[in-house]
Chain A
């Protein structure tokens, strides 16, 4: 028990860093869900592209890292935008479920594309600033600070976008009542386009900040974790994504840590934390921690 407590600062630091990545992915899920009602199963693949593009531009093409990062974000945003125009827009008269199933297809396609272009299991993306920082009781890579900073900035930008800008307010109106949004003159299909662009860009930040490794295979794992974070916090809610991401990130460190150090059970169960958390939340509080529940009158 003493050992566990002594390790706690390290667990908290790791949990915070992972939680930030989950927050970014979860916000991507939320943005698309809010403006279209679609759960985008290709959200994790946006992160995959972010990491692989950053590798290709910074390492293969030899660009400076900041430029490579910006281009990778832009390129992934473009992929999101293309996905919306080529796949989601033509399905606008179909049911939401049809579009959701189509996103599963997109995720498989993206993953295969990633595997064809970058066949190795892992590519090392350079850290933004190499090295470690020693804190009392924990050592963290400098990269953690970047992840934290990028997440805070992203959350603030998303918040300001939705509360202060015209397009953001229109997207919020779509999420509250799609039909009414149409009737006040909001171009719902354009909002859908923006949402995929924005979600892809956010997803790519998660992928390229999540150094040191990029791989075609990270999409599924990040997608599941981000989705869990979004649902745990309350689907569609920006601060819910923050809450869900942090809760998931911390539990994923603390629970296996506790099991290993105190109970002597192997840590092979880390991946189960997200699934168990997801199932528990869906059973006990399906609207999520910050969700308001279904109060809408029909």
Chain B
């Protein structure tokens, strides 16, 4: 579905992504795990066009989408739930969701949009009761649900999720991941970035482990979960061996 090859991106002169190769399988949940600063968020931002890339390709349904403007990428069916939720704080929950369907604002889309709106309400009953509340006054978990709901309102084929568990209570994290499973059952392709490898690998099918801008390890999630190597990479022991 989404094939990233030899991708490099820089922040100034700092190489944040180093020749990353990654394949997001259609209809599956793919995850990227790794410690803070490994380059996971940068990779998602490169895919959705928020930052420029220097080398390499991001192929999506046959076309190279690297360095397209973000709004074109959304239009092509890739929706990004950013780190820190980034809801429109001073707007109501309903306005946030409707802005998610911004590219389908015309009257001829009204029925589809209504259907998606009802789907999101059904997916997150907690939000349904707060439609007229300001998004900034929601709890962290509700904001995360709103951010996911807003991304779904563009009816994506690929959903990019950045640290959905960040700063949330274990119960809420469980809810969020249950909803990801449901979206997977609905046929959505998901690329999940997580610091919490345990939970990310238990929900996903295939996983990549990143450190210092590089993919260090990849495999079936169930295997990675059992693997000893992943601990080494997280703790940085391989760096010590290399160094």
Contact = CB atoms under 8 A, between A and B. Distances in A.
B233 interface: no
A183 B103 contact: no
Contact of B150 (A166, A170, A172, A184): A184
Contacts, number: 71
A94 B192 CA distance: 30
A298 B166 CA distance: 13
A176 B70 contact: no
Interface string A253-296: 00000000000000000000000000000000000000010011
Interface string A18-50: 000000000000000000000000000000000
A295 B89 CA distance: 10
Nearest to B143: A297
A170 B74 CA distance: 15
Contacts of A184: 74, 99-100, 102-103, 150, 153-154
Contact of B86 (A166, A179, A186, A188): A179
Interface string A163-181: 0001001101100110111
A182 interface: yes
Contacts of A173: 88, 91, 99, 102
Contact of B102 (A170, A177, A297, A298): A170
Given A182-B50, A184-B150, A185-B154, A298 B84 contact: yes
Interface string B77-93: 00110101011111100
Given A166-B105, A176-B91, A296-B136, A183 B86 contact: yes
B191 to A, nearest CB: 14
A221 interface: no
B75 A185 contact: yes
A9 B86 CA distance: 50
A187 interface: yes
Given A185-B102, A295-B136, A179 B71 contact: no
Nearest to B140: A297
A183 B95 CA distance: 15
Contacts of B48: 183
Given A170-B102, A295-B136, A183 B90 contact: no
B74 A180 contact: no
Interface in B33-57: 48-50, 52
A169 B80 CA distance: 20
B161 to A, nearest CB: 12
Contacts of A166: 102, 105
A296 B137 CA distance: 10
Contacts of B87: 177, 180
A176 B89 contact: yes
Nearest to A178: B86
A179 B150 CA distance: 14
Interface in A146-174: 166, 169-170, 172-173
B122 interface: no
B103 A185 contact: yes
Given A184-B99, A184-B150, A176 B71 contact: no
Interface of B: 48-50, 52, 69-71, 74-75, 79-80, 82, 84, 86-91, 95, 99-100, 102-103, 105, 136, 150-151, 153-154
9 contacts: A166-B102, A169-B95, A173-B99, A173-B102, A180-B82, A182-B49, A184-B103, A185-B75, A185-B102
